[in-house]
Chain A
Amino acid sequence: MTTLDPAAGPSPTRDWEGHGPAKPLGVTLKAWALYALLVAIPGLPVLFTLLAAIQPSASFDHISRVLLGEMAFTSLMLLVFSTIGATILGVVAGWFVTAYQFWGRTALSWGLALPLAMPAYVSAYAWGDLTGARGFWIATLVYVTTLYPYVYLAARSAFEAQSVCALEAARLLGAGALKRFLTVALPLARPAIAAGAALTGLEIAADYGAADHLGVSTLTIGVFRAWFSMGDLAAAARIACLLLVGVLFLVWLERKSRAGLVAGGSTRWRTPQRAPISGMSRVLMPGFCFAVLTLSLIIPVQHLVGLAIASGLPARALSKPLAATAFLCALGASATLILAGLSAFLGQRSAKSNAFVRAVSLAGYATPGAVTALGILAALALSGSHVVAALSGPIAIIALCYAYAARFTAAGLEPLSAGLEKSTRSMRESAATLGANRIKRFLLLEAPLAAPSAFAAALIVAVEIAKELPATTILRPFGLDTLAVRAHAYAADERLGAAAWPALAIILVALIPTLLFSHGLSKSRAGQS
C-alpha cells in the first residue's frame, strides 16, 4: 500500500543533520547528485514521452479525428463511475467494520482487504466469461470490485484512528448514528478517503489488461494500439501525454481535497466500543460486507477454478511463466529496493527532504506503466537504435527493471522508511559516540533494525511486479512471458481455462503480503495498547 501524502512518514524532529550547513557526522554524500538521480528515474521516461510526442506522426491525424475523443470520454467516464463506486463501497464497508459489532466482523474486517490480491484483468477474465458480456459496465463492475480495497483500507484506518471522544461528544449533543457518521466521522476521514480514491483513479488510468480484455477503448488502450498495431511511437506518445494530463488532474484534485483541513482532533483516546446492532441491520451489515467480498473475490476465483479444472493444465502454462516471473521479480525488486533505500536515506535528512523524496516516488507511481514503458521506448528510439531490435536480451531486462523501479519505489519506500525510523536519532548518535563511523552505524545498527521492514518492502514490490501487465507487455524481451503476460495472451485467444492457471497463480502469490499485512493492520487501533 502506498499513500499519496508526501508529508506523512518520518517527523520533522528527525533532522539528522541538525540545523545549518555543517554536517558534523561526516555525511560526505554528494546529496544533490543523488536527488538528481531520484528525479531522473521516473522523470526521464516522461521527458522522452514528451520529446517523442513532438516528432512527426503518420497516423495521429486519423486517430485524433476518429478515436481520440471517444477514448478520452470513455476513460473519463470509467474513472468517474468506478472511482465513485469503489469509494462508496470502501467507505461504507470501512465504517461498518469499525463502528459496529456484528457476526463475522473480525473475519470480514481483514477479508475485505483480500481483493487487493485480485488484479483487475484477472477479475475481467472471470466476469467477462461468466456474464458473456463485454464493455463499459462490466469494466466498471471489475474496477469497483477490485479497487475498492484502496479506499476501504484508507477509510478503515482513518475511522479507527479517530478519537472516540469526538463521536461520543456528538452523541451527547443528540446526533443519531447516521448524523454522527455524516457530520463527524466522514469529514474527519476525508483526506484519507480522498487519498484512497485517488489511488483507485490512478489504477484505473493505468489499467491495460481489463480494458483490453473487455474491449473498452481507453487512452491506455490507445497508447498500445498506436504502438503495437500502427508502430507509430509519436502517436502513442501524444496519447500518453493526454493520459498524463488526466493523471495530473487527479493528483491535483486529491491535493485540493485535503487543503484547509485541520489535523488531529482530540488527543485523548479511549478504547472504542463498537455498537451492537439489532433488527434488520444484523443481517444487512454482514450481508453487505459479505456481498462485496463475494463479488470481488469469491465469484471470480470460483469461476476461474472451475474453468481451470475443466480445461486441465495446458503444457508450459505455469512452469516457464513462473520462472520468468520469479526472475523479473528478483531483478526488478532489487532495482526498486535500491532506489527506495536511497530515497529513504535521503528522506531521513530533513522533513523537507522527506517530503521531496516521497513526492518524487509518488510521481513515478502515478505515471501509468504504459507511459513509463513508452518513455523508455522513446529514449531508445531517439538515441537512434532500432527499438524492436534493441528490446531483446539484456537491454530489455534493464529497461524493465528501470520501469519497475520508476513505478514501484513508492511501494517500497514506505516500509523502508518505517524500518529506518526504528533506529532513533539518539541511538545513531549514541553509536557515533561509541566510535562507530557512518558505515559501521549502518551495518551494526540501522540495517539489522530495518531488516524486517526491508523484507516486507521486498515482498510488496515483488508482488506488484508479478501483477504488472502493461509495462511488461511493452518492454519484455521476446519469449520471456510472465504469468501476467501469459494469462493475458491466453485470455485474448479466448482460452480462458488456460488463462485461469497463471491467473490463479498470480492471486496466490499476491495473497501472501495481503494476508500478512492486512492482519497486522486489523490489530492496530489508536487508543488501544
Chain B
Amino acid sequence: MSEFALEARHLSRSFGTVKALDDVSLTLEAGKVLALLGQSGSGKSTLLRVLAGLESLDAGEVYADGRLVSDVRITVPPEKRPLGMVFQDYALFPHLTALGNVAFGLSHLGKPERRALAASWLARVGLGDRGGAFPHELSGGEQQRVALARALAPSPRAILMDEPFSGLDPHLRADLQSSMLATLADAGVAALIVSHDTEEALAVADQVAIIEHGRLLQSGLPRDVYRAPKSLEAARALGAVWSLEAHAENGRVETRLGAFASAFDGPVVVCSRPEATLVTPSDVGDFAVVDRRGVGRFLTLKLKAITGESAFITALVEAKNAPDTGQRVALSLQSEDVFVFKA
C-alpha cells in the first residue's frame, strides 16, 4: 500500500475555452480527510470526477494507491479504481433496498457474505434496522448514510465526496459530520471532500486545499492556511477578511492601523481577519463604528476611517462593552495577523 491513497500531478482539463483544471497537484494521505474548498465553477467537481475516472485529462497524472490510473492517454475506468464516491444527490438506486444498495458493490462475494457484509455496514452507520427500506422511504440524513455505507463497503483506499452535506438541514449536519468522521476513522479510509462551505470543511478536514478558477491556490493544514494564506483569495476561503489598498515602500507599508512589513514594494493589499482586529474606544481614534450586527456573545462591527479611505473594516468583538454606533475607536493589529499581498 502506498502512503498516498491518491496523488494528482499537474492535472489540466479544459472544456472548450474554459480551463476547468490548470496544473493542479495534490496528495491525499492514507487515512486522512482532505477538504477541497472552492466556489461553484472553481473546478473542484471536475477535479473529483477526474480522480474518480469519470472525466479524462488533457495533461498530468493521477495515481491511486501508487498505481497510475489517469494520464493523457489512459483513463482507467471508475469500476477498476480502488475508490468510492458519494454523490451530491447520493444517487441511491431507487429499485433496490438500502441493503441492496450497499450490497451493489460487493458482487465479488457470494450471496450470504454479501448480505452479511452489507448489513454490517448499515449497522456501522446506525441503520441496522433500515435494511429493507427503499430510498424513497428514507429521510435525507438516512439516505446520506446509506450512500456513505455503500461507498465504503467495497473497502476502497479512498472515497470522494461531492458536497455530501449540502442537501441536509443545518441542524443535522453537525451530527452527520461527526458520525461520518468516526466511520471513516474506523474504516481507515482516506476521504476527499468537496465543499463550498468553509465551516464544514474545517469541521471535518485534516488538510485543506483551496481551488479557484481551476488553479490550486494553497493546500496544507487548516491552521497553517488560516494563519498564513498565500493570497487574498486563499485568506477569504478560510474565513472572513477585510482588506485595504495601500502602497509599500522599502519593504514597509503604512496604514491607519499601523506600519507593517511587506514583501513587495508598490501597490499592495493589506488584510486581516475581524477576530484579529482589536478595537479600543477612544475619542481621538481614527475610526468610527458605522454598524453593529449580531446577537449573543460576539458582535460584528463595521468601521470606517474618519477621514480619507472609504474602505470598511470589520471587527469581531465581545458584546459586553462593545462600542455603540457612531462611537470613535482606535484599531490595532498584531503583526502576525496581518497579510500583505501584491495588488
Stretch among A173-181, A280-288, A443-451 lining the B interface: A443-451
A26 at the interface (CB under 8 A from B): yes
CB proximity of B109 to chain A, nearest CB, Å: 11
CB proximity of A447 to chain B, nearest CB, Å: 10
**In the complex, given contacts A20-B56, A423-B93, A434-B104, what are 19 additional A-B residue pairs having Cβ atoms less than 8 angstroms apart?**
A20-B15, A22-B56, A24-B53, A24-B77, A25-B54, A426-B88, A427-B93, A429-B54, A429-B85, A430-B91, A430-B150, A433-B53, A433-B54, A433-B151, A433-B160, A434-B84, A435-B79, A435-B154, A449-B93
Chain B residues with Cβ below 8 Å from A423 are 93
Given A24-B77, A25-B54, answer yes or no on A440-B91 (Cβ-Cβ < 8 Å): no
CB proximity of B282 to chain A, nearest CB, Å: 53
Partner pick for A431 among B49, B53, B93, CB 8 A cutoff? B93
15 A-B residue pairs with Cβ-Cβ distance under 8 Å, sorted by A, are A18-B56, A22-B55, A22-B56, A24-B53, A24-B77, A423-B93, A426-B87, A426-B89, A430-B87, A430-B91, A433-B78, A436-B107, A440-B107, A444-B104, A449-B94
CB proximity of B192 to chain A, nearest CB, Å: 13
B105 at the interface (CB under 8 A from A): yes
Inter-chain contact B95/A433, CB cutoff 8 Å: no
Chain A residues with Cβ below 8 Å from B80 are 435
CB proximity of A432 to chain B, nearest CB, Å: 4
A65 at the interface (CB under 8 A from B): no
Chain B residues with Cβ below 8 Å from A436 are 79, 104-105, 107
Inter-chain contact B55/A433, CB cutoff 8 Å: no
Q: In the complex, which residue of chain A has the Cβ closest to the Cβ of B159?
A: A433
Inter-chain contact A434/B154, CB cutoff 8 Å: yes
B272 at the interface (CB under 8 A from A): no
A424 at the interface (CB under 8 A from B): yes
Which residues of chain A (377-435) have a CB below 8 Å from chain B?
Answer: 422-424, 426-427, 429-435
CB proximity of B46 to chain A, nearest CB, Å: 9
Chain B residues with Cβ below 8 Å from A440 are 107
Inter-chain contact B55/A18, CB cutoff 8 Å: yes
Given A426-B87, A433-B151, answer yes or no on A19-B79 (Cβ-Cβ < 8 Å): no
Chain B residues with Cβ below 8 Å from A422 are 94
B112 at the interface (CB under 8 A from A): no
Chain A residues with Cβ below 8 Å from B81 are 433
B8 at the interface (CB under 8 A from A): no
Chain A residues with Cβ below 8 Å from B151 are 433-434
Q: How far is it, in angstroms, between the C-alpha of A20 and the C-alpha of B108 when the chains are bound?
A: 33
B270 at the interface (CB under 8 A from A): no
Q: How far is it, in angstroms, between the C-alpha of A448 and the C-alpha of B97 when the chains are bound?
A: 14
Q: In the complex, which residue of chain B has the Cβ closest to the Cβ of A425?
A: B91
Inter-chain contact A18/B54, CB cutoff 8 Å: yes
Closest CB pairs A-B (n = 7): A22-B56, A434-B105, A426-B91, A430-B91, A432-B78, A433-B85, A426-B87
CB proximity of B275 to chain A, nearest CB, Å: 39
Chain A residues with Cβ below 8 Å from B217 are none
Chain A residues with Cβ below 8 Å from B104 are 431, 434, 436, 444
CB proximity of B319 to chain A, nearest CB, Å: 41
Given A18-B54, A24-B53, A24-B54, answer yes or no on A434-B79 (Cβ-Cβ < 8 Å): yes
Partner pick for A424 among B49, B54, B83, B91, CB 8 A cutoff? B91
| Tier of interface size on chain A | 20 to 34
A106 at the interface (CB under 8 A from B): no
Q: How far is it, in angstroms, between the C-alpha of A449 and the C-alpha of B96 when the chains are bound?
A: 10
Given A20-B15, A22-B56, A24-B75, answer yes or no on A434-B94 (Cβ-Cβ < 8 Å): no
Partner pick for B16 among A19, A25, A26, CB 8 A cutoff? A19
A437 at the interface (CB under 8 A from B): yes
Q: Hey, what's the 0/1 contact readout for A352-366 against B, CB within 8 Å counting as 1?
A: 000000000000000
Inter-chain contact A437/B89, CB cutoff 8 Å: no
Chain B residues with Cβ below 8 Å from A445 are 93
Inter-chain contact B91/A429, CB cutoff 8 Å: yes
Partner pick for A448 among B83, B91, B95, B107, CB 8 A cutoff? B95
Q: Hey, what's the 0/1 contact readout for A1-25 against B, CB within 8 Å counting as 1?
A: 0000000000000000011101011
Chain A residues with Cβ below 8 Å from B54 are 18, 24-25, 429, 432-433
Q: How far is it, in angstroms, between the C-alpha of A424 and the C-alpha of B88 when the chains are bound?
A: 12
Chain A residues with Cβ below 8 Å from B49 are 18
Inter-chain contact A435/B88, CB cutoff 8 Å: no
B303 at the interface (CB under 8 A from A): no
Inter-chain contact B77/A25, CB cutoff 8 Å: yes
B234 at the interface (CB under 8 A from A): no
Q: In the complex, which residue of chain A has the Cβ closest to the Cβ of B70?
A: A24
Which residues of chain A (312-371) have a CB below 8 Å from chain B?
Answer: none
B98 at the interface (CB under 8 A from A): no
B253 at the interface (CB under 8 A from A): no
Which residues of chain A (435-464) have a CB below 8 Å from chain B?
Answer: 435-437, 440, 444-445, 448-449
Q: How far is it, in angstroms, between the C-alpha of A54 and the C-alpha of B56 when the chains are bound?
A: 51
B37 at the interface (CB under 8 A from A): no
Q: How far is it, in angstroms, between the C-alpha of A429 and the C-alpha of B16 when the chains are bound?
A: 23
Which residues of chain B (184-222) have a CB below 8 Å from chain A?
Answer: none
Inter-chain contact A433/B94, CB cutoff 8 Å: no
Which residues of chain B (92-116) have a CB below 8 Å from chain A?
Answer: 92-95, 104-105, 107-108
Q: In the complex, which residue of chain A has the Cβ closest to the Cβ of B102?
A: A434
Chain B residues with Cβ below 8 Å from A435 are 79-80, 105, 107-108, 154
Q: How far is it, in angstroms, between the C-alpha of A436 and the C-alpha of B101 when the chains are bound?
A: 13
Q: How far is it, in angstroms, between the C-alpha of A403 and the C-alpha of B75 when the chains are bound?
A: 42
Q: How far is it, in angstroms, between the C-alpha of A445 and the C-alpha of B100 when the chains are bound?
A: 12
Chain B residues with Cβ below 8 Å from A437 are 77, 79
Chain B residues with Cβ below 8 Å from A18 are 49, 54-56
